[in-house]
Amino acid sequence: MRATLSIFIAGLALACLASKARAEDAEILQTPDPATVLDIAKGFGSARMGKDDNGDPMISGRVEGVKYVIYFYGCEDHENCKSLQFSTGYTDPLTADQANAWNAKYRWVKAYSGDGSNFKMDVSFAGGITRANLEEQFSNWNAMAGNIKDFVNGK
């Protein structure tokens, strides 16, 4: 009887922990809160908050040796933004053929020809996303950083 009660209590405790974890994962982010985005970014490498040329929030960071910027889009008076864009670029522009070769091979991060930001990944908050989903977007970006570096270096 005592063993059964102990197992029941242990099971109940695990169920409570699992429920709490699901509740945290179920928190819906309706907008990309800059402080939350920065907090997640710091979990993947160095990152700092700044502002873009329009005065909207902007995060500059580095993952796997690749510098990147996160732009906030659709902002109202520099707040309540609607989406994010991860972006990195190199001084040597990509040709259309290089961008097409990248885009044929990779799904999440898209390459663009021309000067400036050559690799971009958009994250929409339309309808809201969970923090876990936002962390997964960072994980995707982090995983692709080495591929970007190798691609630019011709490997």
The label of the residue with tokens 């008076």 reads 77
The more confident residue out of 90 and 155 is 90
Question: Is 102 a residue whose pLDDT tops 70?
Answer: yes
Q: Which two tokens stand for residue 126?
A: 């339309």
- With CA atoms as reference, report the closest residue to 112 among 123, 126, 127, 122: 122
Q: Supply the pTM of this predicted model.
A: 0.81
Q: Which two tokens stand for residue 69?
A: 């910027």
Looking at residue 80, the DSSP 8-state letter turns out to be S
- Residue 56: band (very low, low, confident or very high) from pLDDT cuts 50, 70, 90: very high
Its CATH class, for the domain covering 28-152, is alpha beta
| CA distance linking residue 98 with residue 109, whole number of Å | 14
pLDDT (0 to 100) of residue 50: 98
| CA distance linking residue 95 with residue 106, whole number of Å | 17
Question: Is 25 a residue whose pLDDT tops 70?
Answer: no
Question: Is 82 a residue whose pLDDT tops 80?
Answer: yes
